[in-house]
Amino acid sequence: MSKHLAWLVAFEFGAIVPLILVVYWVQKFLSGFVWEKGNNAKFNYHPLFMLIGFVFIMGHAVITFRILPLSHRVKKYIHASLNLVALVFIIIGLVAVFENHNEQGIEPLWSVHSWIGIVTFAIFVIQALSGLSVFQDLVEGASNEVRGQYKPYHVAAGTLIVSLVTVTILTGITEKYLFIGSMKSFSPHAMVLNFLGLVVVFWAATVIFILHSGVEKRSPEVKPVVLFARVPSHDNEDD
């Protein structure tokens, strides 16, 4: 197994296992998944959908340029599409927690988990919008020079988001400990959440390593087709 493939397998482990752990945690120790007004189980969609959006889908989007031997143009569309799908799951996850807190009379945005989470979401949205504006070429836009200058900042922001996602999840796990006051040390419940935190840290390490560990894998480039290009003005030309 090549070094590159080994890191990809490690990443997939870190991206899939948290989903399995959250589903097990909710079904085993909580009240399952119920999207129903007034039912406290609505909250349980929050960690699940945030993990799907940020860890699984966004994680794959981040490493797209390093793992897929496709043309750069094709990978741009895959990268953008995955991030947009991730955004949908993230928004649903936020709706779940805000509705639940409102229905249960819990004050929103009071914890460091929620503050870091909102900052992470805001940076993710800004990153997505700036990426679409600068790198996507359905409409003729930024020059290659501008794209080249912006790319290091785009990659750095991606690394920052992965780091903030990890911190947000870890603080969320700690916050959950506060809500479950009867949880005792080394209980099965605590072990599931602790292992979830460790796997998420492992996931972040694999994403950052893959992102910064080599050149982009790509196939021979195909010249892009601009669907909407600016038409030069001929107002000053002689008839």
Distance CA 133, CA 204 (A): 27
pLDDT tens readout for residues 118-132: 999 999 999 999 888
What's the confidence (pLDDT) of residue 189?
86
Cβ atoms within 10 Å, residue 98:
14
Q: Average pLDDT for residues 155-177, to the nearest whole number?
A: 94
Sequence-separated contacts (24+) of 23-27 with Cβ below 8 Å: 23/48, 24/192, 25/189, 25/192, 25/193, 25/196
Mean pLDDT of the chain: 85
Q: Average pLDDT for residues 76-101, to the nearest whole number?
A: 95
pLDDT tens readout for residues 171-217: 999 988 887 765 666 788 889 999 999 999 999 999 999 998 865 55
User: Which among 69, 87, 164 has a CA at the least distance from the CA of 132?
Assistant: 87
Q: Average pLDDT for residues 67-86, to the nearest whole number?
A: 91
Distance CA 126, CA 83 (A): 12
Q: Which residues contact 206 (CB under 8 A, 6 or more apart)?
A: 7, 10, 11, 14
Is residue 56 predicted with pLDDT exceeding 50?
yes
Lowest mean pLDDT among 13-17, 32-36, 87-91, 221-225: 221-225
Lowest mean pLDDT among 2-6, 59-63, 136-140: 136-140
What pTM did the predictor assign?
0.84
What's the confidence (pLDDT) of residue 115?
97
What's the confidence (pLDDT) of residue 183?
61
Q: Average pLDDT for residues 208-233, to the nearest whole number?
A: 57
Q: Average pLDDT for residues 76-84, to the nearest whole number?
A: 93
The pLDDT confidence band at residue 228, using thresholds 50, 70 and 90, is very low
